[in-house]
Amino acid sequence: MGTLYIVATPIGNLDDITYRAVETLRNVDTIACEDTRHTLGLLNKYEIKKPLMSYYAADEERGISRILAKLDKGESVAYVSDAGTPGLSDPGGALVRKVREQEHEIIPIPGVSAFTALISIAGVPGRTILFDGFLSPKKGKRKNRLKQLLEREESFVVYESPFRVLKLLEELKELAPERKIVIGRELTKKFEEILTGNAETILDILAIKGKIQGEFSILIYEK
């Protein structure tokens, strides 16, 4: 039987990779990744030369079949997402389920994630935090899900792109104007920024900055 390694990679700063992750990537037979060009930058930094194969959500079924074919031959495969810990907001979960069904070994190689990085600097009260990933790009679905999350007792974290973050904040301003928010923009990267306040305060800050760039991790807490 083969072995699948689920390998966490940096979310921005390429130095944020573990020794174990580097050694794993050096020793597997194949590396599966969302975007081979993106992953190649990481591998080049650490002088790792291994065959790459793509595995992404739009071609999930074919990607799983190709990975299983290698595992069936007794080979080892590492799966990495474009950034962070696989399985949180990428097709890693579907891959793990199928590989487990075929009784191949699965080994996690832990590391960073935007979710845990944000929580570490948020100072959020309580111990329970809900992770909901990316909300729907469709206004109605996004707003309905946001209402559901706001009705819960837990703090929660969502991810958002620069193209929709203002819409999300406008909806939070309407639905929960007093809720406290912590935003991590471009976490671990050169232009990393932490923003805190309610939705209106953060909208004002972003308005001053002008063009919105970067990926956003957003924590909403205190009902």
pLDDT tens-digit readout, 197-206: 999 999 999 9
The average pLDDT across 93-103 equals 96
pLDDT, mean over the chain:
95
What pLDDT score does 127 carry? 83
Task: Look at strands 3-7 and 193-197 and give their pairing.
Answer: unpaired
∠85-156-180 over CA atoms, to 5°? 125
Average confidence (pLDDT) over 11-27: 97
Structure tokens at 3: 């072995």
- In this prediction, residue 211 carries a pLDDT of 87
Please give the average per-residue pLDDT across 127-134, as a whole number.
92
- Helix (H) / strand (E) element for 74: namely none
The β-bridge relationship of strands 155-160 and 129-134 is parallel
Cα–Cα distance measured from residue 223 to residue 221, given in angstroms and rounded to the nearest whole number: 6
Structure tokens at 79: 């799966």
How many of the other CB atoms lie within 10 Å of CB of 78?
A: 26
Neighbours of 198 (CB within 10 A): 18
Q: pLDDT tens across 139-149, in order? A: 999 999 999 99
- How far apart CA 1 and CA 7 sit, in angstroms, is 19
